Amino acid sequence: MNTTTTSNVAIEYRDICKSYGEKSVLEHLDLKIPRGEFVTMIGSSGSGKTTALKMVNRLIEPTSGDVLVDGRNVRDVDPIQLRRNIGYAIQGSVLFPHMTVEDNISYVPNLLNKRDHERTRKAVRKWMDIVGLPDDLLERYPSELSGGQQQRVGIARALAASPDILLMDEPFGAVDEITRGQLQAEIARIHRKTGITVMFVTHDIAEALRLGTRVLVLDAGKVQQYSAPEEILARPATAFVEQLVLRQRHACDLPEDQLCACNHSGAARARAALAAK
Ligand SMILES: Nc1ncnc2c1ncn2[C@@H]1O[C@H](COP(=O)(O)OP(=O)(O)OP(=O)(O)O)[C@@H](O)[C@H]1O
């Protein structure tokens, strides 16, 4: 039974098609993302992940079809207003190079509560703490930070306006493995704590399974599967998803009849699902 009603849907794609000239990138995408979900998007290169993501904040417009955010067609919402309620974090540093860490994070909150600078100051410190950065970095400029620290500041900035939706496009693609693991743990914690709706593009199936409450697998502009991670692992819907799952098992160096023993909740749920089969 489908229990997803309009009121608990944060983002909806209705029959979305996107072409660049003759090239079709998304074909009849229909998708509902309930409020509070953490949707990871994975697929082959060029499968349309970034294109679909950027339609939510109108950085890309569809050729046909509609995108709804909180039940409103984004075509009817002023893009600037829309983006104030949608955090956006991408790979690499997108910080303003001439601004300190504090000014970078407080940029949007300052626009929103112009008069209440004390409130913004407190919010900046709260987000520094949440993304695991010490306050003594507040006066530094982006060039004086490590890649991992810049990425954390980018996430703090995306979250600082307390958006309802967070769009993340391979946000941890450019950091080392250890930092990546830490950032994954932090974003999962932020999601649990805030209940924010997250769309997260990744090339890493382990990351998709670890973080996603639902995983969207795209190939050649079409949805291959949109399911909980345990479902993806236990019952891949297409040969393409099956290949992804095999890659995950091999990465974890386990026999194919066992699931990944990595330390993540998706795999733990998947193991339980398989055990119950
Ligand atoms: N402005 C554009 N003009 C023409 N083609 C474009 C444009 N933007 C994207 N494309 C093409 O659309 C297709 C989908 O791109 P998109 O960035 O959505 O894919 P993706 O799944 O995010 O890819 P990747 O995993 O490599 O980042 C690609 O073939 C890309 O080359």
- Whether ligand 1 lies within 6 angstroms of the CB of 109 is answered as no
Domain that holds residue 115: 93-162
The pLDDT, as a whole number, for residue 183 is 85
The pLDDT, as a whole number, for residue 99 is 95
Tens of pLDDT, residues 224-270: 999 999 999 999 999 999 998 887 777 665 444 444 333 344 445 44
* CB contact burial 191-222 (16+ within 10 A = b; e otherwise): beebebbbbbbbebbbbbbbbbbbbbbbbebb
99 within a domain of the structure (yes/no): yes
- Whether ligand 1 lies within 6 angstroms of the CB of 22 is answered as no
Tens of pLDDT, residues 84-124: 889 998 877 678 999 999 999 998 777 776 677 888 888 89
114 within a domain of the structure (yes/no): yes
DSSP 108-144: HHHHHSSS-HHHHHHHHHHHHHHTT--GGGTT--GGG
112 within a domain of the structure (yes/no): yes
137 within a domain of the structure (yes/no): yes
- The backbone torsions φ and ψ at residue 172, rounded to the nearest 5 degrees and listed phi first, read -110, 15
Number of domains in the chain: 1
The pLDDT, as a whole number, for residue 204 is 92
124 within a domain of the structure (yes/no): yes
> Which residue owns the Cα nearest ligand 1 atom 13?
46
- Is pLDDT above 50 for 273? no
Average of pLDDT values for 143-156? 90
Residue of 47, 170, 199 best suited for mutating to test ligand 1, as the one with most atoms within 8 Å of CB: 47
Band of residue 40 on the pLDDT scale cut at 50, 70, 90: very high
Which atom of ligand 1 lies closest to the CA of 51? 18
pLDDT > 90 fraction of the chain, expressed in percent and rounded:
56
Average of pLDDT values for 201-230? 95
148 within a domain of the structure (yes/no): yes
Tens of pLDDT, residues 43-74: 999 999 999 999 999 999 999 999 999 999 99
Measured in Å, residue 22 CA sits from the centre of ligand 1 at 13
Band of residue 6 on the pLDDT scale cut at 50, 70, 90: low
More confident of the two residues 260 and 162: 162
Sequence-separated (6 or more) residues with CB below 8 Å from residue 54: 60, 167
Measured in Å, residue 49 CA sits from the centre of ligand 1 at 8
- Whether ligand 1 lies within 6 angstroms of the CB of 50 is answered as yes
Tens of pLDDT, residues 179-189: 888 889 989 98
127 within a domain of the structure (yes/no): yes
140 within a domain of the structure (yes/no): yes
The pLDDT, as a whole number, for residue 267 is 47
Tens of pLDDT, residues 13-34: 999 999 999 999 999 999 999 9
